[in-house]
Amino acid sequence: MNTDIRRKKNPAQPAGVHMPHRRIGPIRPRTPLYAGCIIAALGLLANLRPANAQDVRTNASRTAAPFTGEQAVFDQQLERYVAQGLHSNLALRDESLEVEKAVQALAAARARYLPELSLQARYTRAQGGREFEIPIGTALNPVYSTLNDLLEAQDQPAPFPRIEDTTVKFLRSEEQDTRLVARQPLYAPALPAAVRAQRALLDARRFNRMALARALRRDITLAYIAWLKARNSSGIVAASQALLSENLRVNESLYKNGRITEDQVLRAQAELLEVQQQRSEMDNLTTRARSLFNFLLNRDLREPIMPSAAPANPAATIAAVELLWSAALERRPEISRLEELRQASEARLNVARKQRWPVLSLGLDAGTQGEEYRFGDGYNFGTVSLIFTWKLFDGGGDSARVHQARAEQRQLVLRQEGIAQQIRLEVQQAHDRLVSAHESLATAEARSQAARAGFRIASRKRDEGVINQVEFIDARSALTRAELNLNLTRFEVLERRAELEYATSAGDIPLDPGT
């Protein structure tokens, strides 16, 4: 609706003096804040209070203040949360227990070098069983009988009694055997290879923990940035709600004065209701982002988070992608883990091969045995032995283990090639995204400056009566969208930087595989 309303002449106006004519131009419907822009928008404009034209003009003419502490403050706050997550995260603590188990497995492998001492005790009661006779009577009785006859012929007493045959049982009816048994391996070629295998498995487990820690650091960083996104988006939606409320008030006033039609009032109401719905969604998104962040830190899901302003110009040194590839392949714990697993597989192959070799050990047994528990002559005993063992045939079990170890080695080589290609791809994608985000940041800053300059011009025109309130609000909306896009891009640079740091395994974290 076009209206050209001229102010009526004031009766008290002096003759020949003309008051400026105020032209109310075409009443344009306010440009909507699209839902996708508001939801994804990241800005630090939560403190905007466009309740009236004076507030809007004051806020718009003010140059954006520099972020407190810039990059260092943001990184310090983030590092504190990362350190807390590395200490309390349940998955990482579980992996630390796996490392502890591997340490004890290595200790057990090394313990096989030392002598083994055990106490063995046996008490037996037996009945029946095999027995044999010693024909002592049968052999001696004829001789004794002849001697007795000769002595009797000489009127001497017969001293030789008749002897019964002796029956000896193989099992004693009651017996105890208590001894100390010591075994010391003297030559066992499989033991050193087994120790090397366990040491390599321990290092692999430590590198696996390191990989999990770096992934946790990336997830905490992205979760913190996501929470800042949602929090600032919620503030921007609140500021937009105040702006649309002012827009509705102006349109209602114009409609009551007959300057616009009712459809423009209804449009303003629809826009306000849409933003109210967006604010509810953004509040819910903020709550979910906070819950995810606290979950990673193993805290109460509703515990508050300390916010930090995103740096105005996020620092990011982008090296050539070839250098990043080289650095990633050298530092990524996944590569080191597979290398340790390959060494462990090689050691297990040696174990399987040397199982065929002979084993020599020293044995020492000492204790007491008999029908009663007693110590002394007739009961104590001791033995020293050299034990030689050479397995000549096991049904092909050792050969099967050798082939299994060789297949595992080939499998790990393929996995190394695959993970190397995957890391190159991750680095390439993270590098390209960060470069694109930096380029977008420059464009977003230029757009924001242009929108801010346009709003300053619109503010002066509004004060001079050249444009109406609706056009002024449209200019303010354009500035808001530009600021939203700028802050969204800033956070995107931080996200891409975190992804590239993870891909190249840059930076130090308080988890060293050597400890």
- Domain locations in the chain? 69-114+188-229+312-356+391-504, 130-170
Q: 514 CB contacts (<8 Å, ≥6 apart)?
A: 206
Q: For position 213, what pLDDT does the model report?
A: 94
d(CA 442, CA 452): 15
Nearest to 236 by CA among 493, 486, 5, 9: 486
Regions of the chain short of the pLDDT cut 50: 1-68, 512-515
Element housing 284 (H / E): helix 262-296
Query: What CA–CA distances, in Å, run from 270 to 180, 243, 266?
Result: 92, 14, 6
Element housing 206 (H / E): helix 190-256
d(CA 204, CA 210): 10
Give the count of beta carbons closer than 10 Å to the beta carbon of residue 60: 21
Instruction: Give me the CATH topology for the region 69-114+188-229+312-356+391-504.
Output: Outer membrane efflux proteins (OEP) (1.20.1600)
d(CA 306, CA 297): 13
Model confidence pTM above 0.85: no
Please compute, for residue 319, the number of CA atoms within 13 A of its CA located in the half-sphere on the CB side.
12
d(CA 41, CA 229): 7
Q: 486 CB contacts (<8 Å, ≥6 apart)?
A: 43, 441, 444, 445, 447, 448
Number of H helices and E strands in the chain, helices first, is: 11, 6
Nearest to 57 by CA among 198, 246, 299, 216: 246
Q: For position 34, what pLDDT does the model report?
A: 33
Give the count of beta carbons closer than 10 Å to the beta carbon of residue 76: 11
As to burial, measured by CB atoms within 10 angstroms (0-12 exposed, 13-18 middle, 19+ buried), residue 348 is buried
d(CA 438, CA 458): 30
**What residue type is assigned to position 177 of the chain?**
D
